[in-house]
Amino acid sequence: MKTILIITVVLQTLFSDAQTNRVAIFTTNVVTAVPWYREVNGTLYNTQRSQLFQHLPFCTVENVVGGSIAFEYSLIPPTAYNAQLHDAVLINYPLDGMAKDHNFSVTAMKVGTTNLFGTVLELWDYGTPHHVIVITTNYVRLKMPVDGQQISH
């Protein structure tokens, strides 16, 4: 649908400019939205308001495997008396500084399960940054000579 809209705008601009002495100049910029807007499976979420995203405050890296993190998490501080640890895999999370036994917290969405080395684990998705493409149009007037022919640049 976006492609059809862009083609329509471009065609209208070209045909309308053919009758005048203006030329359209298109500028495209890519802007990254605020960090709490994340995309998961092509859908945009506000992680601060979505009930599908959950904060996992007590996580420990078990392994970094091919761009994903195998980790243990607990929703309450883990102690020897309440060892309620869950094994899981986290995708789309920045891997900088991630190593075995590193402690971290994350807000992510549970998207299903995965099989890692023969074990079924929960699959959590941190999401990817949301990028917005902004297209602006500026018109430049061309000078027309007296005889009506357009001046080439």
Dump pLDDT digits (tens) for 106-144: 999 999 999 988 889 999 999 999 998 888 887 776 666
Region 24-45 average pLDDT: 90
- What is the residue-wise DSSP string for 30-72? EEEPPTTEEEETTEEEETTT-TTEEEEEEEEEEEEETTEEEEE
Which residues fall within 8 angstroms of residue 48, CB to CB, at 6 or more apart? Answer: 36
Q: Is residue 109 part of a domain?
A: yes
- The CATH number linked to 101 is 2.40.50
Region 13-37 average pLDDT: 75
Residue 1 scores a pLDDT above 60: no
Q: Is residue 67 part of a domain?
A: yes
Q: Is residue 70 part of a domain?
A: yes
Residue 46 scores a pLDDT above 90: yes
Residue 5 scores a pLDDT above 50: no
Residue 58 scores a pLDDT above 80: yes
What is the model's pTM? 0.68
Please give the tally of structural domains in the chain.
1
Domain coverage including residue 35: 27-133
Q: Is residue 74 part of a domain?
A: yes
pLDDT of residue 10: 56
Dump pLDDT digits (tens) for 65-105: 888 999 999 888 766 566 688 899 999 999 888 889 999 99
Q: Is residue 123 part of a domain?
A: yes
